[in-house]
Amino acid sequence: MAKPLVTKKKADAISNGAFLVGLGILLYTHDWWPGILLVLWIAVLLRQYLTGRVYDTIISTIILLGLFLVSFIKINWSVIIPILFVIGGTYLIFREYFYADEIIEEQILDERSDRANEHKED
């Protein structure tokens, strides 16, 4: 995982602000579909990128921009939806498989530092 660019609180504020600006533009233009996909994409992209979640940013971009483009191309949804579910499920499995060790190592280090702090307090 990349280092976060800003705190989670700032990333949430920036993302929520961008979402509200996007909703305002949609209200003005009355172009809800597929405009809402772009607004969601921008909000999700900002939050994930600013918190250092590069891989999630890439996956979200592929999915949301893909849905946006599909709405213009008029592809049969009975083909696209199963493909998106397979891609999403595969991503979740691989993410858990490849990054589970890093999460476990972080938890072990956190527990060790907590124990060390407890011993210092005694």
pLDDT per residue rounded down to tens, the chain (122 residues): 578 788 889 999 999 999 999 999 999 998 888 889 899 999 999 999 998 888 888 989 998 888 888 787 877 778 878 988 999 899 888 877 777 666 666 667 767 776 776 666 65
Same domain, residue pair 69 and 82: no
Same domain, residue pair 13 and 24: yes
Same domain, residue pair 85 and 69: no
Same domain, residue pair 38 and 82: no
pLDDT at 31: 85
Same domain, residue pair 53 and 92: no
Q: Which residues contact 49 (CB under 8 A, 6 or more apart)?
A: 5, 57
Same domain, residue pair 9 and 48: yes
In whole angstroms, give the CA distance from residue 51 to residue 57: 10
> pTM surpassing 0.85?
no
pLDDT at 106: 67
Same domain, residue pair 99 and 67: no
Q: Of the candidates 105, 14, 88, which has an alpha carbon nearest to the alpha carbon of residue 51? A: 14
| Host domain of residue 37 | 1-74
Q: Which residue has the tokens 């527990």?
A: 111
pLDDT at 69: 84
Same domain, residue pair 65 and 11: yes
pLDDT at 114: 67
Same domain, residue pair 55 and 94: no
Same domain, residue pair 35 and 91: no
Is 92 within 8 Å of 72 (Cβ atoms)? no
- Looking at the structure of the chain, the number of domains it has is 2
